[in-house]
């Protein structure tokens, strides 16, 4: 072993990662990172999961991070290895997921020469990382790695990239432990008490309140979720969650209205529309949620709790903002509330709830059942019923299946639901599930998938088999890019331009080819058996469920429409009113 102050760069890197609590690295080797892989060969404190494509390494690290609350870690080579991470990094940036991605780089003397496998990855990823670094001196390496982890996990989390030229990892230098590194980056976590007092004033006066919960509460951690739950139960307010916020509040609690937004529930969207006070905790007024902004919650005062000042007044102007960490602010909010012994207007609240119960009784997630063809919603309901006792971790791809999963699963805890919300990356779910299973080897991990999305990263089946990660891929195979087909049916006159793939692999044989288990169900009667078998096998599974190709996902707020203009189903007359694409929700 080399002497303490004469470690080489690769040793310094691995030591820094261990000191940062890293247990698993998702990666793929290549020339520029061979010295690092060589050092990795000589140790056993860091586990390496060898993916089949670098994009998958990043999604796997995202799944790992989201299911543990820790920072995910990625290692790839220069040039193509690095550029392959761009989609994953952008995905992590949009969804505020903490990651550190280490990329190899050509030696410093060759940078700028169009050297073999050179890519200006700090330039390329500047807009899709929270921050990035190019390390030019081995003596700055340890410090930079520690700072990268600090930046990734502090404030609003996000991906950080560290680019390491080959000569830097090969030269000798000094290691610095995390305790010796002081970062200047210190985002505000405590909320302004005066603003919190004011929030309590506003809450006390509310007659038709709603709590609108986002991914920021999950980012903040389980303590924030508990405090949020305490706050909601204490006030008795209705609580709706964004796609990213599912699990922050127990989904089966009667105070929960489920998801809001484009494919949210009737009761959540109408309560948002009719509320007189909206309390936004860690959500960012995304256009999938607001619908047409000038018709968004028109009668409401709005309170916004968020750690990132740039989220405030970005899309929607609010009446009161409290900047800081959700857990800190909720704790203070509850304290002030209790100290003041606030009395709510119980009568008004009761009337508000009876209105909401009226909307809820419409049972907006109802669907026509069939005993001939598998309805996707039915398959998901059965999956939920047959697995909930195992408290499964669910990831998804992107499309109709993702929305049905969000509607029909109820999440009682945070960190059990991993989906690509902001970027909507098809191909996210399988590698993300891989990362989740790595962190929770004994848990049931299911990727709810579509047959098109699955094919974007299906090479990772090999990774699952190699590393004995028994992920279950539950494909709702409707033979279509269903979400695209739905938009074409409803908005583009039924012209199904390139949304049908005429050829799919035989997924059961495909599973076999990888050494996984393939299962298929073609009629509703086979669904339960398939699910039970899928859970029973201790190996990766591809389950191919042939579902109704023509099913559409409802409720739906059409592009350019408001919360009170939801379409509830195919028989709904408001479907005839064409949407406008001027304002929000224009993309599939």
Partner 1 sequence: MTHIAEAIERHTIAVLVDNEAGVLARVIGLFSGRGYNIESLTVAEVDNREQLSRITIVTTGTKMIVEQIKNQLRRLVPVHKVSDLTIEGAHVSRELALVKVASTGEKRVEALRIADIFRANVIDATNESFVFEVVGATDKVDAFIRLMEPLGLADVSRTGVVAIARGPAAL
Ligand X SMILES: Cc1ncc(C[n+]2csc(CCOP(=O)(O)OP(=O)(O)O)c2C)c(N)n1
Q: Active-site residues: which are they? A: 54, 116-117, 166, 483
Phi, psi (deg, nearest 5) at residue 233: -70, -35
Candidates 236-244, 295-303, 371-379, 490-498: pick the segment binding ligand FAD (CB under 6 A).
Answer: 236-244
Phi, psi (deg, nearest 5) at residue 552: -110, 155
Candidates 140-148, 477-485, 546-554, 570-578: pick the segment binding Mg ion (CB under 5 A).
Answer: 477-485
Figure out which of the listed residues 280, 425, 437, 438 binds ligand X, where binding follows CB under 6 A: 425
Binding pattern for the stretch 305-344 against partner 1, x by CB under 8 A and - elsewhere: ---xxx-xxx-xxxx-------------------------
On whether the CB atoms of residues 447 and 418 are closer than 8 A, the answer is no
Q: What SS3 state is found at 362?
A: coil
Q: Report the chain's C-alpha Rg in angstroms.
A: 25
Binding pattern for the stretch 131-170 against partner 1, x by CB under 8 A and - elsewhere: x--x----------------x----x--------------
Q: What SS3 state is found at 530?
A: helix
Q: What is the distance between the terminal CA atoms of the chain, rounded to a whole angstrom?
A: 55
Q: Which residues inside 91-110 make contact with partner 1, applying CB under 8 A?
A: none
List the alpha helices (DSSP H) in 298-345: 326-340
> Which is closer to ligand X, CB of 242 or CB of 478?
478
Binding pattern for the stretch 129-168 against ligand FAD, x by CB under 6 A and - elsewhere: ---------------------------x------------
Which option in ligand X, partner 1, ligand FAD, none does residue 283 bind, with CB closer than 5 to 8 A by kind? Answer: ligand FAD
> Which is closer to ligand X, CB of 100 or CB of 484?
484
Q: How far is the CB of 36 from partner 1 (least distance, A)?
A: 23
> Does residue number 424 form part of the binding site for ligand FAD (CB under 6 A)?
yes
> Does residue number 478 form part of the binding site for Mg ion (CB under 5 A)?
yes
- Residue 475's contacts (CB-CB under 8 Å, 6 or more residues apart) are 449, 450, 451, 454, 507, 542, 543, 544, 545
Q: How many residues does the chain have?
A: 588
Which option in partner 1, Mg ion, ligand X, none does residue 185 bind, with CB closer than 5 to 8 A by kind? Answer: partner 1
Q: Which residues inside 245-304 make contact with partner 1, applying CB under 8 A?
A: 293-294, 296-298, 301-302
Residues touching partner 1, count (CB under 8 A): 28
Helices 9-19, 34-41: axis angle to 10 degrees equals 60
**Quick one: which of 376, 555, 381 has its CA closest to 480?**
376
Strands, E assignment, 228-333 = 239-241, 256-259, 277-281, 301-306, 320-323
CA distances to 95, 153, 222, 227, 283 from 191, rounded to whole Å, are 23, 19, 19, 15, 16
Q: How far is the CB of 248 from partner 1 (least distance, A)?
A: 23
Q: What SS3 state is found at 47?
A: strand
- Distance between CA 17 and CA 165 in Å, rounded? 18
* Contact residues: Mg ion, CB under 5 A: 450-452, 478, 482
* Contact residues: ligand FAD, CB under 6 A: 95-96, 156, 214-216, 219-220, 242-245, 259-264, 282-284, 286, 288-289, 306-308, 311, 325-326, 398, 402-403, 421-422, 424, 483
* Contact residues: partner 1, CB under 8 A: 122-123, 126-127, 130-131, 134, 151, 156, 184-185, 293-294, 296-298, 301-302, 308-310, 312-314, 316-319
């Amino acid at each position: 072993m080399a002497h303490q102050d004469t470690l080489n760069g690769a040793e310094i890197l691995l030591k820094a990662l261990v000191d940062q609590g890293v247990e698993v690295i998702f990666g793929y080797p290549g020339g520029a990172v061979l010295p690092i892989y060589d050092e990795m060969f000589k140790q056993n404190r860091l586990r390496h999961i060898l993916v089949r494509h670098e994009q998958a390494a990043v999604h796997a690290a995202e799944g790992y991070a989201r299911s543990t609350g820790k920072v995910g870690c990625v290692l790839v080579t220069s040039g193509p290895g690095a550029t392959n991470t761009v989609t994953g990094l952008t995905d992590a940036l949009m969804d505020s997921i903490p990651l550190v991605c280490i990329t190899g780089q050509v030696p410093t003397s060759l940078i700028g020469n169009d050297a073999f496998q050179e890519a200006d990855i700090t330039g390329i990823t500047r807009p899709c990382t929270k921050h990035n670094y190019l390390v030019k001196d081995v003596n700055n390496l340890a410090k930079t790695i520690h700072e990268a982890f600090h930046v990734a996990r502090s404030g609003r989390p996000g991906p950080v990239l560290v680019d390491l030229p080959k000569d830097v990892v090969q030269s000798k230098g000094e290691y610095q432990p995390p305790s010796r590194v002081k970062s200047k980056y210190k985002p505000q976590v405590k909320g302004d008490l005066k603003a919190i007092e004011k929030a309590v004033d506003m809450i006390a006066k509310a007659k038709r309140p709603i709590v609108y919960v986002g991914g920021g509460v999950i980012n903040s951690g389980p303590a924030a979720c508990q405090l949020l739950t305490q706050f909601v139960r204490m006030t008795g307010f209705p609580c709706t969650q964004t796609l990213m916020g599912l699990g922050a509040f127990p989904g089966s609690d009667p105070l929960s209205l489920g998801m809001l937004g484009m494919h949210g529930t009737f009761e959540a969207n109408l309560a948002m529309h009719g509320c007189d006070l909206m309390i936004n905790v860690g959500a960012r007024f995304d256009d999938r949620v607001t619908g047409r902004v000038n018709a968004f919650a028109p009668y409401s005062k709005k309170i916004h709790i968020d750690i990132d000042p740039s989220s405030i007044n970005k899309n929607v102007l609010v009446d009161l903002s409290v900047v800081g960490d959700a857990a800190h602010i909720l704790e203070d909010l509850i304290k002030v509330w209790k100290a003041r012994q606030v009395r709510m207007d119980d009568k008004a609240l009761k009337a508000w709830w009876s209105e909401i119960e009226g909307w809820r009784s419409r049972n907006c997630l109802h669907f026509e059942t069939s005993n001939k063809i598998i309805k996707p919603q039915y398959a998901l309901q059965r999956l939920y019923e047959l697995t909930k006792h195992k408290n499964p971790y669910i990831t998804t791809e992107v499309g109709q299946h993702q929305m049905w999963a969000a509607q029909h699963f109820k999440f009682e805890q945070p960190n059990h639901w991993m989906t690509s919300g902001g970027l909507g990356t098809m191909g996210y779910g399988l590698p993300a599930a891989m990362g989740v299973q790595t962190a929770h080897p004994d848990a049931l991990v299911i990727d709810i998938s579509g047959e098109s999305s699955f094919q974007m990263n299906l090479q990772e089946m090999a990774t699952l088999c190699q590393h004995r990660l028994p992920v279950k891929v539950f494909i709702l195979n409707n033979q279509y890019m269903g979400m695209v087909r739905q938009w074409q049916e409803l908005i583009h006159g039924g012209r199904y331009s390139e949304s049908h793939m005429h050829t799919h692999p035989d997924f059961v044989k495909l599973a076999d080819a990888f050494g996984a288990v393939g299962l298929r169900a073609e009629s509703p009667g086979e669904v339960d058996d398939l699910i039970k078998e899928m859970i029973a096998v201790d190996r990766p599974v591809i389950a191919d469920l042939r579902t109704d190709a023509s099913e559409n996902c409802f409720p739906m707020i059409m592009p350019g429409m408001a919360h009170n203009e939801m379409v509830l189903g195919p028989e709904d007359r408001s479907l005839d009113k064409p949407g406008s694409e001027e304002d929000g929700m224009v993309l599939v």
